[in-house]
Chain A
Amino acid sequence: MIQPQSRIRRSLGDLSERALAFWLLVPAALLLGLVALYPVGRLLYTSLFRRRLTDETGNSPVFVGLDNFVQAFSDERFWTALWNTLLIVLVTVPGALVVGLGLALLANLPFRVKWPVRLGLLLPWALPLVFAGLIFRWFFDSQYGVINDVIVRLGGERLLWVTTPELLFWAICLSIIWKSSSFVALILLAGLQVIPRELYESAAVDGANRWQSFWRITLPLLLPAILVAAIFRTITAFQTFDIPFAMQNGGSSFETLAMYVRTMSIENLNFGYGSALAVLMFLISFVVTLVYLRYVRGADD
């Protein structure tokens, strides 16, 4: 006599693969839908209107179709922001990957006492981003910052980090890389842990040196983790806001897309155009990520 309990369990297990897949995906879809669907829909909707809270269109938005998007294409500030954001992506994604990989490899070494190193790895991450930006602003202050203090002690000259555009860019990138390499290192470290020790041992037996076993064993096996880290680092890099915002005291000499969207929406109260910019931001990062995902798909096939 089959017990009722196992009958239920049996039928759940007997579900076709398709059905099971569906039910497994439903909770995530539901949660995402609940939180994101209405806001995203609203965003798309508003982007088709002229709606500024500083005039009458605030209460009676005017339908303008794709006008906001057309406006963006001839908006010099938009293109500058896009360019700045791309620069950040191009510099900080490889930067964070390289630094993160380095940190992960170092942290993976056989220390007797592990916790200080692991803590040092994860601490940058535990610091809320909004404060990281403010702290680095102070570090890069030309008069009171520790960076210039160290430079002067080493015999150099004070640099005006925050008010010189080129220096500002590198100060921002350094801060972003510092903060985000922690995140990359975490993912890569977990990935490193999963590589079986036996592989290294048999490679050593075969006469491979450290460098070779790194290239032939570590990197290839780490590739999936690297890609995951890369995807999210890229997406986050596109959204860069906190650090450049905090470092400029409210200025916009170096403005990213996210900064421009925020200024347009929250400060200028131009919701129509701000929404259109946000949609454009989404489309651009979507296209870039699609390229990545092709790689991921390709990698595990």
Chain B
Amino acid sequence: MRKLFWLLVAVLVMSAALAQQTRLRVFVGGQQRPDVMRKIFDLYQSKNPGVRVDLEVGGATSDQQQQYLTTVLASRDPSIDIILIDVIRPAQYLASRWADTLDKYLPAASRQNLLRQYLPAYSQANVINGQLVALPGFADAMFLYYRADLLEKYGFRPPTTWDEAIQQAQTILQRENNPNLNGIGFIGAPAEGTVCTFLLPVWAAGGDVTNAQGQFSLTVEQAQRALQFWVGLMDQRVSPPNMAEKPQDTIRSEMQAGRWVFGTMFAYAWNRFQNDADSQVKGRIGVVPLPAFAGGRQASCLGGWQWTVSDFSRNKAQAHKLVRFLSSPEVSKILAIDASNLPVFPALYRDPDILRVNPWFGQALPVVQAARARPQHPRYAEISEVIRVTTNQVLARQKTPEQGAREIVTRLQAIYGGR
């Protein structure tokens, strides 16, 4: 009996020690609704009394955050435990040993089950070389926004192929005779979005940068056809000649003022179109997946943000618990309702509470399901630079599509070849 008593005391003492305060520090970008995040962390704290979660808010662009995090993580700073990273980063984080993979906490079978619940693109985007680097936080994709009122006026259904889209745009432009109206808006400035601009036609034709085995498979023909496609839009006057100047938000702003028939943008544009006070297109915008080419498939560019644990964290076990919580359906629902973030769980797109606040999520689901990831590679930053700068130069007529295609393929081959 005595032994049992002391055993109980020992257990109690140990659990008291274990229930010591753990402080976790989470880094998010300024654009990720720190107020909503704070609410979610408070919820977690109430369920886990031994844990305090602090929020560190960084700059609002992926670049600003990466700049800061590079300095911090390259110095092996242990002060940050959890980071919200862009979907293009997991491969680099793994190679740089910045992320503590989740596999040790998830035996293979449960990992399978967990990943199956998410949108398929995310289970792919976060598993690099067989290792689970991060869990999805919220989703994003590139949509084809269109002026539903204009299409209806001319009896068009939303296009499923690019040829359709071009025809519709040309017809509308001709009949409307509005000098300020343009046809198909796409991202041309050398920012990250232009990587999507280049890849969309490649995907739409059935190709990709790498094949299913992960080997480099982009050909000069595919690249050339993709570049030629966008240049062709400018040649045919479906898009104006200065597309190389336009970052995503300028397209959004112009479409909001009613000056585009079609536009390719990420999900954030929807809320601006619907809720901005000076929006000229409230209630007149629809979304569909981006069109295909004959023989290809409709594809969209995947975005979204993922939760990862820093390899320098001193509280990895607790951090992992929090990450599991943050990538759970419960949190996904809060983010959908409070921050209008697209959920990473397909089931939630039919959730009535969510649809009440964001009725358009029903239309968004097929787009997100058709989304494809940009190349996953530790040297993604270089890959991105090659693609976006060269595409921009081709759009600015500094290089021909053929020259641009050769340059892209040659330089990407060097990167994939390890040089």
Contacts and interface: CB of A to CB of B under 8 A. Distances in A.
Say if the two chains contact directly (CB < 8 Å). yes
Interface of A: 53-55, 58-59, 141-143, 160, 162-165, 248-253, 263, 266-269, 271
B381 interface: yes
A87 B398 CA distance: 20
A249 B385 contact: no
B96 A269 contact: yes
Interface string B78-116: 000000000000001001110000000000000000000
Nearest to A271: B74
Contacts of A162: 245
Given A266-B70, A269-B381, A55 B396 contact: no
Contacts of A268: 379, 381-382, 385
B190 A248 contact: yes
6 contacts: A55-B95, A55-B378, A251-B189, A253-B392, A269-B74, A269-B96
Given A53-B96, A54-B92, A253-B393, 11 more contacts: A53-B70, A58-B97, A160-B396, A163-B396, A165-B398, A249-B189, A249-B190, A251-B190, A252-B190, A268-B385, A269-B381
Interface residues of B, number: 29
Given A160-B245, A253-B393, A54 B95 contact: yes
Contacts of A249: 189-191, 245, 247
A269 B396 CA distance: 29
A58 B378 CA distance: 12
Contacts of B189: 249-251
Contacts of B192: 250
Contact of B385 (A141, A164, A266, A267): A267
Contacts, number: 78
A45 to B, nearest CB: 15
Interface of A is mostly: loop
A248 B385 CA distance: 13
Contact of B191 (A142, A143, A250, A252): A250
Contact of B245 (A142, A253, A263, A267): A142
Contacts of A165: 398
A252 B242 contact: no
Contacts of B67: 266
B389 interface: yes
B244 interface: yes
Interface in B243-273: 244-245, 247
B147 interface: no
B25 interface: no
Contacts of B70: 53, 266, 269
B92 A269 contact: yes
Contacts of A163: 242, 244-245, 392, 395-396, 398
Nearest to B247: A249
Contact of B96 (A54, A250, A253, A263): A54
B374 interface: no
Interface in B200-259: 242, 244-245, 247
A54 B382 CA distance: 11
B381 A252 contact: no
Contacts of A143: 242, 245
A87 B244 CA distance: 25
B388 interface: yes
B381 A59 contact: no
B385 A263 contact: yes
Contacts of A252: 190, 385, 389
A164 B382 contact: no
A269 B379 CA distance: 8
B410 to A, nearest CB: 13
Nearest to B67: A266
Contact of A141 (B96, B245, B396): B245
A249 to B, nearest CB: 4
A166 to B, nearest CB: 11
